[in-house]
Structure 1
Amino acid sequence: MISRIIWRVFSLLYGTLVLALFTAFAVLDGSIFRRPTEKEKKELAIAQQKFWDLSQSPLGLKHKFFSLEDGRKLHYVEKLGTNSSKNLTVFIHGFPDSWILWQGLLTSSRLSQNSVLVAVDLPGYGGSDGLPNYGANAVLETMTAFILGMREEYIASQVEEAGKVFVVSHDWGSIIGYRLASEAPQLADRFIISCAVYPQQTYATIKAHFASSSKMLHTWTQRPFSVRLLKSALKNITPVLKQASKSGYVFAFNLPSPLSNFCGAMGNMWLLRIMHRVATGNAEPSGKPLLLGPTEAAEAMTASIGPGPAQFGASDTKEDYPESVKRRAPTGGWPEKIRIYREGLLLGQWEKSLETIVRLSELDRGSPRSRRSSSGAGLFEDGPPGALKARATVVYGKKDPAFEPKLTLEDISDYLTKGSQVVVLGEAGHWLPIEKDSAEVLEEVVGWALEGEEAPLKARLEGFGTVKVTIDK
């Protein structure tokens, strides 16, 4: 009880400090009272029309909706395969994005030759309905239902030569991907997971660092002249402190609602615009992210805030965006988006519904295609709690500003099943799908999976400079 109170007080104070720093930065660059110009409004309207008009086919893709059992709808876009391949690839984005994050891979002729490509908007993002809550049960049940629905729609279920299923994810989509690969491995033949911590592994690693440092410090109190022991204790806890500094925004997002909402709204969505600048991967010699051009900035913003008023009820199709999408449009959906940080998705227990248990069991004992979709790992395979039971390819940018590599990669091999890999991009940041060189690597990884994994992944990535396959089980 006392430790919980201490943690809550620390979280409140640290989150408030981070919000104060964000506000100060917005004041210093003149954005705190900034309002969008008429030109910016026009560019945003054009971008929203381009990507969110349901009567159009943005980038050659088709808008569609998937209805859940409770009537809520998830928006997704579809790119049908160009040959007889029956593979299915499902793309899941993270914060603060939408399906637009994947536009480069969705328009890849190489990938569409070998698979139907589907990119979904997470609940509460883009054009998808929100959920009553964003805990593990609600989100994982929803995403499992979606993937099962896509399997039924695009993958023949009773033929020997049916295709395989792949899940490609980023950021919070990858946290979902990790959990599904651990707790519902039947859903896909391979999970390609980019730019996220694995909750179970990272939590266990942090606890181990704290325990080790605590023991060292306790010993040091008995031998206070042992400078070496003190240095070792501090060195051991340093990765945890570095991660805490990189995760400061998470504490700000968990402040009481008026403060956390202000964090996203201030300065004409200043924080979102900073994220978009960082996501481009372009920088001045000083390392400061470059300003985006008007069109580029508008398209980045519409990828985060979703459709606007002109897209509601204006389509010639029978479908329209759900009412919850219309309600959150004035705020860009910020209060809804940060709920995945606030409501227990990261480590909360997933108590599967009876329907989910039955449908996953059917995949285990079903047709030859369904059996082949399983990872081949036993459901009770040895490993630490939370170990993945489906084959996974984990992709990280070594310069990702959100994660401390030592924590995110330490002992991760113990959590991976046979046939899994870890790929580290030496010069990459966080938004791999839209960083030019990184996107090419990610496309190569997905292409390798779709083309049957005929050669070792390491051999396929040899021509990509600082890219290394650090684990290949």
Structure 2
Amino acid sequence: MPALVKRILYTAVGSVSLIIRSLCGLSQNNDHQKNCYKEAEKSTNQKSEYLRLSNGIRIHYHCLDAIESASDLVIFIHGFPDSCHLWTDLINNHARDEANLVALDLPGFGKSEGLSSYGSDDMLTTIYLAIVEFKKSYSCQHCIVVGHDWGGIIASRIAAQTQGLIDRLVLVNSLFVPHFSHMIEERLEMAGQIFSAGVRNQSYTSWLNEIWQAASPVVSQLYKSNYIFMFQLSFFSATKFDWALKSILSACYEWSQAEIQDVRSGHTIGSSLAGHQHDYSLNAWNDRVRLYREGLMSEPWRFAPQHQNGVRSDEKTIKCTTTVIFGLRDQALNSRIAVDGIDAFIQPPTGHPKGCVYLLEDVGHWSPLNARCIQVIQHVLAGAKSHAEVSSSSRIEIETVQGLISRDLL
């Protein structure tokens, strides 16, 4: 798609989204937004700590008392618009002796300091430095990073441009940018080829249906991503269009609350959403939406370790065993774009398998708040602790667990 056409399309979608979101925000009261910030923090034995990085940024994180005998370090990274509290239930319920667990606040979120820029260089370097410091601090041999939403995007980019830093990556309703972009281009190219071929030995209706089958995942993703195009409008700001922002935050709150109640088991997990942000002024939200505006998904990471050593590494494949956990009712991502075919973009070291994919029915974007998803993550971490992945496999394996469905993605 030509750049000009793409820009016009994105601007049109963003403008329509801005109008609709603003009208929705005007029709809502403030209860959801207030609830996001006034939920009482749960009783927990987690400690609130700070880490000063070599680039001067102070990162806030939650952790439990260190276990000297644990060989595993698990780092949890949240997405937009959350904080480290997203992982409170999972950490509280995790087997205490298995690993050292750390949940950090992204820069500009929760209680972490903000950045001067939220592009690839500053954000990826900051999280890279945090992982390095955590590994030094805990002296753990095996590092697992669990990322949701933007946390997974950031972690997967780092895992693609480093060797040995991350031993296992767990993407929870997230995406790997090169794969995501490839799937969109592939779908559009497929639809274009069918269109160019024209109606041959088939009916006109069948021809249109084939085009739709090829393009529909992209159309679905475009619809789900409408708020992103709104954030990318040059004139958008949280202070000018606070009603639009309010509509998005209210939707996030409602979606996340729906995940807290596991309708199948009737088990209720306590609240843990994004609601515990340290600074929730509109100016703070201006910084947070910069995740979408300053090239974090598209710009190269110039300060990647390989670049500093004069080596240009392959940025399009993840360099470690990867587990994908995806709630199929995701309101922000289409699984046909975010999950299908991801095995081709995972290239772990020799002797290590690519990993597994878990697809959760009736679970949405905020899957880390869902009881079944928490059980799956615990299952994955327990398997990683046993280091059973030493046997080599060139395929993404689909594991079927109660409450999940499997799909052959190869």
TM-score bracket, shorter-length normalisation? 0.7 to 0.9
**Rounded Cα–Cα distance in structure 1 between residues aligned with 2:187 and 2:401:** 36
User: Is this contact kept in 1: 2:21–2:244, CA < 8 A?
Assistant: no
Query: Of 105, 111, 130, which residue of structure 2 is paired with 1:127?
Result: 111
- The structure where helix makes up a greater share of residues is 1
**Rounded Cα–Cα distance in structure 2 between residues aligned with 1:231 and 1:172:** 34
Query: Of 130, 146, 152, which residue of structure 1 is paired with 2:130?
Result: 146
User: Is this contact kept in 1: 2:358–2:399, CA < 8 A?
Assistant: no
Structure 2 residue matching 1:241: 3-state secondary structure: helix
Query: Of 153, 156, 171, which residue of structure 2 is paired with 1:175?
Result: 153
CA displacement at 1:419 relative to structure 2: 3.5
Query: Of 424, 428, 435, which residue of structure 1 is paired with 2:359?
Result: 424
Matched, 1:397 2:327: yes
CA displacement at 1:139 relative to structure 2: 1.1
Structure 2 residue matching 1:192: 3-state secondary structure: strand
Matched, 1:61 2:46: yes
CA displacement at 1:407 relative to structure 2: 1.6
Q: Which residue of 1 aligns with 2:350?
A: none
CA deviation profile, 1:340-370 (whole Å, cap 9, x unmatched): 1111111211122569856x99xxxxxxxxx
Provide closer, same or farther for how the CA distance between residues 448 and 6 of structure 1 changes in structure 2, counting only shifts above 3 A.
same
CA displacement at 1:332 relative to structure 2: 7.1
Matched, 1:213 2:204: no
Query: Of 308, 332, 339, which residue of structure 2 is paired with 1:409?
Result: 339
**Rounded Cα–Cα distance in structure 2 between residues aligned with 1:419 and 1:355:** 22
What is the root-mean-square deviation in Å for CA atoms of aligned residues? 3.6
CA deviation profile, 1:37-67 (whole Å, cap 9, x unmatched): 9xx69x95673xx47xxxxxx6111222111
**Rounded Cα–Cα distance in structure 2 between residues aligned with 1:114 and 1:245:** 41
2:257 alignment partner AA: T
2:107 alignment partner AA: P
Structure 1 residue matching 2:90: 3-state secondary structure: helix
**Rounded Cα–Cα distance in structure 2 between residues aligned with 1:301 and 1:177:** 19
CA deviation profile, 1:81-102 (whole Å, cap 9, x unmatched): 4562132111111000010000
Provide closer, same or farther for how the CA distance between residues 222 and 438 of structure 1 changes in structure 2, counting only shifts above 3 A.
closer
Matched, 1:450 2:380: no
Map residues 69-218 of structure 1 onto 2, 5 A cutoff. 69-82=54-67, 84-110=69-95, 112-155=96-139, 163-218=141-196
Listed as ranges, the gaps of 5+ residues in structure 2 are 264-269, 348-352
Q: Which residue of 1 aligns with 2:266?
A: none
Matched, 1:338 2:286: no
2:404 alignment partner AA: T
Structure 1 residue matching 2:302: 3-state secondary structure: coil
CA displacement at 1:390 relative to structure 2: 0.8
Provide closer, same or farther for how the CA distance between residues 139 and 302 of structure 1 changes in structure 2, counting only shifts above 3 A.
same
User: Is this contact kept in 2: 1:77–1:119, CA < 8 A?
Assistant: yes
**Rounded Cα–Cα distance in structure 2 between residues aligned with 1:267 and 1:386:** 35
Structure 2 residue matching 1:437: 3-state secondary structure: helix
CA deviation profile, 1:63-88 (whole Å, cap 9, x unmatched): 22111223221111121345621321
**Rounded Cα–Cα distance in structure 2 between residues aligned with 1:231 and 1:471:** 23
User: Is this contact kept in 2: 1:80–1:117, CA < 8 A?
Assistant: no
Listed as ranges, the gaps of 5+ residues in structure 1 are 52-57, 156-161, 288-294, 308-327, 362-378
**Rounded Cα–Cα distance in structure 2 between residues aligned with 1:36 and 1:426:** 30
Q: Which residue of 2 aligns with 1:310?
A: none
CA deviation profile, 1:261-287 (whole Å, cap 9, x unmatched): 555x32893421221111122699xx9
Q: Which residue of 2 aligns with 1:292?
A: none
Identity of aligned residues (%): 23
**Rounded Cα–Cα distance in structure 2 between residues aligned with 1:279 and 1:117:** 23
CA deviation profile, 1:298-327 (whole Å, cap 9, x unmatched): x64633xx22xxxxxxxxxxxxxxxxxxxx
User: Is this contact kept in 2: 1:114–1:451, CA < 8 A?
Assistant: no
Matched, 1:388 2:318: yes
Structure 2 residue matching 1:178: 3-state secondary structure: helix
CA displacement at 1:153 relative to structure 2: 0.7
Q: Number of residue pairs matched?
A: 395
Provide closer, same or farther for how the CA distance between residues 103 and 257 of structure 1 changes in structure 2, counting only shifts above 3 A.
farther
What is the TM-score with the length of structure 2 in the denominator?
Answer: 0.84
User: Is this contact kept in 2: 1:423–1:470, CA < 8 A?
Assistant: no
Q: Which residue of 2 aligns with 1:369?
A: none
**Rounded Cα–Cα distance in structure 1 between residues aligned with 2:39 and 2:206:** 61
CA displacement at 1:21 relative to structure 2: 1.5
